Amino acid sequence: MRVAMAMQPAAMLVPIAANQVWVRPMARALKRTQAVIAPDFGVDGPDFSAERAVAALYGLPVAGIDEAGRGPWAGPVVAAAAILDLSRPPIEGLNDSKKLTEAQREHLFEVISNEAIAFGVGVATHAEIDEINIRRATHLAMVRAVEALGLGGVRPSAALVDGDDPPALDIPTRALVRGDGSSYSIAAASILAKVTRDRLMVAMDAQYPGYGFARHKGYGTAHHAEALLRLGCCPIHRLTFAPCRSVGQGLDQPGGPGV
């Protein structure tokens, strides 16, 4: 098993204009992207049907890709890419991370880490989300997750991406709607991304006490809303998301928590 993580600190943000050099490669990559509706695969739960179908066209290995953290008011968006061994029995209990308890996810994270052929994690920071918007930041995190596979010495022949809006990769890509519940590889990626992000937010709870990040992981709960009204936005809040735009106590205001 090989693993790597790719992320870029906020201070190293790449200007959007610099990405123009990638427009043509991205366009070519998008032409290789096809959307698949999940009922075609794994109607009774995750299996390797989608992986085998893609492998028949492009060869092995096939990476599953998913993200965690598009919707929260604070913290990064995290993506993971996982390559599983199709010749081995599937990991027991592997499923969409949203259908699992925290304890189950933590257990499966360790199992996947040990049994996967390779996996990579990519992170896009709250600052990058504000800079380029959440959709582009999610794509950036996914690209970094695939790049992390390469850093670990593994290059997938193709990728399966959860949802219907995949990033522009330089390998054949298929978007699989509800893929985290129908593809083992995507389910594994969903767990890796979710657990990684949850652990990051628990660490942020210690750094920014009072917001309850360890409890709600930055999502928009009543407790989080009350904390924002009481404390204002902290340095890891997404300032382009409505709660911090409307709370009226941003980081650059006198007396705000970021001063």
Task: Map residue 231 onto helix, strand or coil.
Answer: helix
Q: Are 94 and 109 in contact (CB under 8 A)?
A: no
Domain definitions of the chain by residue range: 2-205
How does the average pLDDT of the chain come out, rounded? Answer: 84
Pairing of β 173-176 and β 33-36:
parallel
Phi-psi category of 248—alpha, beta or left, where left has phi over 0 and alpha has psi -120 to 50? Answer: left
pLDDT in the model for residue 44: 73
Q: Which CATH architecture has domain 2-205?
A: 2-Layer Sandwich (3.30)
Angle between the N-to-C axes of helices 49-58 and 184-207, in degrees from 0 to 180, rounded to the nearest 10: 110
pTM exceeds 0.85 = no
Question: What's the rounded mean pLDDT across residues 28-44?
Answer: 49
| 8-state DSSP, 39 | G
Whole-angstrom CA distances from 107 to 102, 183, 184, 227 are 9, 19, 16, 31
Q: Examine the pLDDT at 204 and tell me if it is beyond 50.
A: yes
pLDDT in tens, 89-124: 999 999 999 999 999 999 999 999 999 999 999 999
What confidence score (pLDDT) does residue 152 get?
A: 87
Q: What is the pLDDT of residue 245?
A: 83
pLDDT tens digits along 138-191:
999 999 999 999 998 999 999 999 999 999 999 999 999 999 999 999 999 999
